[in-house]
Structure 1
Amino acid sequence: MRRRRLIVLVIALVAIVGAGAFAVASANRVKGSAEQTAEEYFDAWRRGDVMAMVRLVFQPPSDFVERHRALSEDLHVESFQVTPGGLRETGDESAEVPFAGVRELAELGSWPFDGVLRLGVRDRAWKVLWTPETLHPLLKDGGTLELTEIDASAAELVTREGEKIPNDSYAEAYLEPLRPEFAEANHGWALVSKAPGQPDRQLLTRRPEANVERTTLSRPVQAAAARALDAVDDSAIVVIRPSTGEILALADRLRDNYSAVRDVFPPGSVFKTITAAALLKTGLDPAAQVGCPGAYTIPFHRSFTNDGEVDRGIVTFTDAFAHSCNTTFVEQATTRLTGEELSGTADEWGFGRSIATGIGGTCGTVPAAADLDVLGADAIGQGEVVASPLCMAALAAAVENGVWRSPRLLSEEQVRRVDGVPGEDAPMDAGIVAALRDMMRAVVDHGTAADGGLPPDVSGKTGTAEVEGETSHAWFIGFREDLAFCVFLRHGGSGRAAAVPIAARFLKGL
């Protein structure tokens, strides 16, 4: 009996010892494995399941979730891929897994990097030993990663050929205010690494696209116009392509903030082109014999004289235009026209039409004179008539082409966006256009521009506009083939002596 009790006691002791040993073994056993923990972490990282990742990390920082989300949001990460390498044991209870990661950034594309996931046994379980460089190696020791914008350079306005505007073009005053119109939301991006005590380092960049807008300016034409004005102060040249209305050159050296596009001046005898058109409309033939006395008095009104009171006797209407006979135009206008008719003709040739160039602009005004003295002065470009050099260039272009077109410095689409809707193309009377061409050709052939050194095949009209108490304004408008121009010298003197030589210099410089 005693033996039996001893056996039972021994069995009980063995059971207790075994249970204790099992309990000790169970208590000391490590949960999971390094491979399993690493696999679960990488899988959660791929899915973007940060909460699952944090459960696998030993003592994760309080901002663990926020760091991951902020990096993705701040760098505009669209997708993330990670490819683990082989596990390496670094001790009895430590291991590491090298990996290759690729973040796809919205602005910069693929951004690959290499990292190491470190693991260790903590609290009898395999855990990820996370540090900031696990997220990216450059985050070590307080490093940061930032996505920054690279500002685009100011819009570059170029010639119609796509080339740079010539230096000293005298067009800058018109081009500079245009640049903001093309300052689109255009910028580049840079991924920048910042580390304490070290200079910033750009890791990836995407430079902004060049913001280039073509104007209608022609490089050779603009250069020729600018060089023609190099030694001429307070002057301007506007050049237009008659077949399209494109401004090929705009060289403006006017002082005191005056503009060849937006300001108006007495046009003098270049306005006789409009008056001639109005007289031709009444039936006056270019070959008609008219008087060109040195002086003419409107009956019961004021007197007008030719330059130097030159008396040319009886001449054709064409020659009266060629020699710029003030007396002829005053007499014919005050006997054949009303103020409304002269003003209406001016409106047809641009004064009453909408101009939209892309840089603003105006043509001028020709009020309907009720008084004969005013009508006589208006007929020769004095009186109440004022015009811009831009408008006079457009007038010459309309004579050459037979169609009045609104001048423009930009494409038609951009003009409408920036400056509004221009006036529609307006075909002019073919008979009047043909007569004006012949009359302007006579000016250069044997009239006031005959000895100005102009190259062949140029037609034009000189103008000298008197300014009370000051030197006259000098004008010359003209055309050659598909190129029309206006030369204007504010207080420059005689159109014949001052403006024509500049036009010759410009045309020879092409």
Structure 2
Amino acid sequence: MRRRPLLVLVAAVVTMFVAGVSGLIVSGRSVPPPEPVTTATPDGVPDELVEPDNPNRNTPWDAGTAYLKEWEKGDLAAMRALVHDPPEDFTTLHQAADTALKAVSRVFTPLSVDEVDDVTADLSFTGEWKMTDGPPMKLTSTVRLTVVKREWMVDWTPDTIHPDLEHGDTIERRDLPGAPYRLATREGEALPPNSYADPYVDDLTAHAPPNPSTGGWRVVIDKPFGDEVEEVYRHEQPATEGPAFATTIDKYVQMAAARALDPVQKPAAIVAIRPSTGEVLAVADRLGGKGAFSSTFPPGSTFKIVTAAALLAQGVTPDQQVACPATYQIPFGRVINNYQAHDFGTLAFRQAFAESCNTTFAQLAVERVPAATLTAQAAAFGFGATLSTGAGGSCGSLTEPPNHDALAEASFGQGTVVATPLCMASVAAAVQSGVWRGPRLLADASGQPPDVPLAPGVAEGLRTMMSSVVSEGTAEGTGLPAGVSGKTGTAEEAGQDDHAWFVGFYEDLAFAVFVKNGGTGRDVAIPVAARFLNAL
């Protein structure tokens, strides 16, 4: 009796199942299976489209190489699109680099990716810029990459272009200097070898205009602070010989002057000037440095040219009779002696000049030439003038003698008067031309001190007197060419051997020969002058 309820329950379940199936068949409809639930990433990319091992939409390699390809093409807009938040100088630095290098193409080769962490990576690469006027520039650099919204993008910094480039830097091309100007003679030829003019070359070359040709170029990174400049590329091209920069030096006169000094054992110099222009035709300098232009010495009896000019201007004539005793007592002052106590008695002023009578000049200066007058006459011959030679230098100076003793000493080139060899050559040039002109080594005559004409009759009288020195005075029979006029000088300097001088002129050439501590003008300086002049 207990089984009956159980059977009834089973029968009911079977009946319900049959009824349900029958209903579905009768209606003719089917029910689809339940759809799966779709989940999306925050940026809308379905999970099933994301690779299990790469949660981002690209790889560092993809992003980096895509950027390099656009860079090769020079498409700055496409490059910017691949960069996360490109800085303001992104475009300008790229353009500056291309301009500096004059790049015609770029080739980049990716090397490898170094993934620093899940969101940063570095792509190393080599680059080669091909240029219009130089070999390629090659370098190795890095493209930095970062993840932005599940996508790898370039995290650009200036060192992508060059490892040393930073924000704020500029990159630019600078020319390398071309071959310097070649210092040349007035003929446009090179200075003769061993010409003893080397100390003057640098100063003269500094006056040359800029050389329009270059020795190549370089690319530099200029830092914004300070003067730091970093060179990142250099292209040197063979330096051609620089253009000639002509001076006033005459090749043949310079060569003759240099060879005339070769046998001289003591420091010495020769300066030659063209009287009609003031151009320095030769400077052979073995005094050390630019001694012929800048070192001053007592001029000795060569200064009698200046004193004679003052006396001629005061009315003394070359043929006027004057006394030349062995000694002269300055009133209330010292005694002046002639060289080797020579006593020539009474003779013409030109003869006293030719024999270099110290006593004659001392007496006439004390009696007829005030100290201020002698100082002014020296100034007319360039003493104290500011010269513009192109290589520095000075003429000399005469401090106004304070008393008769000092005036007498200055009258024959001792005491307060000093001169350079350049100065005494310009004095001789003024006698020959009648006008003192500033000596110069540059063809450009601008900046010269004003010309100073000698007083009427002075130049003519001096030319007569200087001719007498060679024909009947201290330079007679010394082997000088015919037509030379000059003046010897033997200058004393305390504690030293005497300095030897000979200055003069020969046609349109004036000169000064100086041998430091050499001895007498006749015995030492004139033989040098004779070698020089006979070689012209």
Aligned partners of 1:150 and 1:207 also within 8 Å: no
TM-score, structure 2 normalization: 0.65
What is the alpha-carbon distance in structure 2 between the residues aligned to residue 161 and residue 472 of structure 1?
38
In the alignment, does 2:366 pair up with 1:334? Answer: yes
In the alignment, does 2:324 pair up with 1:292? Answer: yes
What is the alpha-carbon distance in structure 2 between the residues aligned to residue 185 and residue 484 of structure 1?
34
Shift of 1:285: 1.2
Q: 1:267-312: CA deviations, max 9, x gaps?
A: 0000000000001111111110011111111122211111111111
Aligned to 1:88: none
Aligned partners of 2:176 and 2:236 also within 8 Å: no
Shift of 1:383: 1.2
Q: 1:393-414: CA deviations, max 9, x gaps?
A: 000001101111100011226x
What is the alpha-carbon distance in structure 2 between the residues aligned to residue 319 and residue 67 of structure 1?
84
Aligned to 2:270: 237
Decide whether aligned partners of structure 1 residues 338 and 294 sit closer, same or farther in structure 2, where only a CA change above 3 A counts: same
In the alignment, does 2:282 pair up with 1:246? Answer: no
In the alignment, does 2:505 pair up with 1:505? Answer: no
In the alignment, does 2:356 pair up with 1:324? Answer: yes
Matches within 5 A, 1:17-36: none
1:74 to 92, 100, 110: 100
What is the alpha-carbon distance in structure 1 between the residues aligned to residue 370 and residue 93 of structure 2?
84
- Report the RMSD for the aligned CA atoms in angstroms: 3.3
What is the alpha-carbon distance in structure 2 between the residues aligned to residue 258 and residue 104 of structure 1?
48
Q: 1:354-387: CA deviations, max 9, x gaps?
A: 3110111111111221311111111010111111
Runs of at least 5 residues in structure 1 that lack an aligned partner in the other structure? 1-43, 56-63, 81-102, 112-145, 193-201
> Secondary structure of 1:485's partner?
strand
Aligned to 1:367: 399
Decide whether aligned partners of structure 1 residues 262 and 190 sit closer, same or farther in structure 2, where only a CA change above 3 A counts: closer
What is the alpha-carbon distance in structure 2 between the residues aligned to residue 361 and residue 67 of structure 1?
51
2:490 to 464, 473, 476: 464
1:444 to 470, 474, 477: 470
Greater mean alpha carbon deviation, residues 147-156 or residues 258-267? 147-156
1:162 to 188, 196, 199: 188
Aligned partners of 2:463 and 2:485 also within 8 Å: yes
What is the alpha-carbon distance in structure 1 between the residues aligned to residue 532 and residue 469 of structure 2?
18
Matches within 5 A, 1:28-67: 51=77
Aligned partners of 1:474 and 1:495 also within 8 Å: yes
Runs of at least 5 residues in structure 2 that lack an aligned partner in the other structure? 1-69, 82-89, 106-129, 137-171, 220-233
Q: 1:23-82: CA deviations, max 9, x gaps?
A: xxxxxxxxxxxxxxxxxxxxx99x986547999xxxxxxxx99998566323336x99xx
What is the alpha-carbon distance in structure 1 between the residues aligned to residue 241 and residue 78 of structure 2?
42
Aligned to 2:513: 487
Q: Which amino acid aligns with 2:501?
A: W
In the alignment, does 2:221 pair up with 1:189? Answer: no
Aligned to 1:275: 307
State the structure with more CA Rg: 2
Q: Which has the higher helix share?
A: 1
TM-score, structure 1 normalization: 0.69
What is the alpha-carbon distance in structure 2 between the residues aligned to residue 466 and residue 70 of structure 1?
69
Q: 1:226-265: CA deviations, max 9, x gaps?
A: 000012130000000111111110011114x571101211
Q: 1:111-153: CA deviations, max 9, x gaps?
A: 9xxxxxxxxxxxxxxxxxxxxxxxxxxxxxxxxxx98855423
Aligned partners of 2:313 and 2:455 also within 8 Å: no
Q: 1:137-180: CA deviations, max 9, x gaps?
A: xxxxxxxxx98855423432111111111111111112134434
Aligned partners of 1:350 and 1:363 also within 8 Å: yes
Q: Which amino acid aligns with 2:273?
A: I
Q: Which amino acid aligns with 1:496?
A: R
1:408 to 440, 455, 458: 440
Greater mean alpha carbon deviation, residues 350-359 or residues 477-486? 350-359
2:387 to 355, 359, 362: 355
> Secondary structure of 1:504's partner?
helix
What is the alpha-carbon distance in structure 1 between the residues aligned to residue 92 and residue 334 of structure 2?
91
